[in-house]
Structure 1
């Protein structure tokens, strides 16, 4: 009986996890090009939902990206909130590492690691997330998918003890409109 309870608990917990499979994105185009997409002005908008699906934040982000002299992508992000509160400013420094990427930012607790799978990028890191009067160390498991050369969709799974406690959905669009894009969506 004890073994049956353990097996049922593991099945339940595994059902709570994100089920994104990286290999299926290797053949989908267009391929994601992180340095090209984030070079220049990027506009983003999104929401954060808690584990019950309740909206806890609605936000917009102005991102200014540039390639530094050391071939590092620098993303200067400024956040504004229509609902809820959160970080106001973040600066990422992202470097190419073989086929993937590493990065750090002023409020990120660990080095971020990213891998590209065709039109998808998986970006993982830990952050000390302030909630009310407490700070929690959480893991971010971000997945970004290229729609075209200037539009990305990002789905982030925020985890504590391996369980998803919140999800973030973000749409991003490069405002400099490379060839193949249909038009800016900046409000």
Structure 2
């Protein structure tokens, strides 16, 4: 019986570690070039769903994005459904071969990104304020470029390997003025 439980734990452990590799999307079109897509003004609409699927918060984000060489800045201004606002400024660095790093005040350490084809996968820890406490939450963030204007984003939030919820976003790039 002990052997049965060890096998069961091993199987679920491996299952939990398996995930899609970004290289799976290498042949997908259009190719996502962060410097091209995140340039200018973008709008994004999103929602946070808790682990039961209930929509807890909706939001709109206006993003001002620009690049100087291999370094990009994404200035994000959030307006939430409850009327609250938030600002997050990302600094992205292109390392080459589809690899990126990202930093923002709320990010613990450095975000790690990898792009292939139409997909980008970001992984990072976000210091998330909830009531009077701050929790460090893991994000597994996938973005998929649909065309030159629209990108879809799905993020899974977890803590100690337990899924807390999901963030879903739809980005739309504004036409240059």
Same fold (TM over 0.5): yes
Contact 1:72 1:95 in 2 (8 A): yes
Contact 1:110 1:127 in 2 (8 A): no
The change in CA–CA distance for 1:61 and 1:17 in structure 2 (over 3 A counts) is farther
- Determine the structure 1 residue equivalent to 2:100: 101
Cα deviation, residue 72, structure 1: 1.3
CA deviations on 1:86-144 (whole Å, 9 max, x unpaired) are x6000011111122111101211111111012110011111111122222111111000
Q: Which moved more, 1:35-44 or 1:126-135?
A: 126-135
- Determine the structure 2 residue equivalent to 1:56: 56
Cα deviation, residue 18, structure 1: 7.8
Contact 1:17 1:163 in 2 (8 A): no
Q: Which sections of structure 2, spanning at least 5 residues, go unmatched?
A: none
Matched pairs, number: 175
Aligned to 1:20, the other structure's residue is in SS state coil
TM-score by length of 1: 0.84
- Is 1:149 paired with 2:148? yes
The change in CA–CA distance for 1:142 and 1:39 in structure 2 (over 3 A counts) is same
Output the CA distance in 2 between the equivalents of 1:145 and 1:116. Answer: 10
Aligned to 2:109, the other structure's residue is in SS state coil
Output the CA distance in 1 between the equivalents of 2:132 and 2:11. Answer: 34
- Determine the structure 2 residue equivalent to 1:180: none
Aligned counterparts, 1:108-127, within 5 A: 108-127=107-126
Output the CA distance in 2 between the equivalents of 1:12 and 1:51. Answer: 19
The change in CA–CA distance for 1:106 and 1:52 in structure 2 (over 3 A counts) is same
If each structure's strand is expressed as a fraction of its own residues, which one has the higher value? 2
Aligned to 1:5, the other structure's residue is in SS state helix
Output the CA distance in 2 between the equivalents of 1:13 and 1:49. Answer: 25
Output the CA distance in 2 between the equivalents of 1:59 and 1:15. Answer: 33
- Determine the structure 1 residue equivalent to 2:20: 20
Contact 1:18 1:157 in 2 (8 A): no
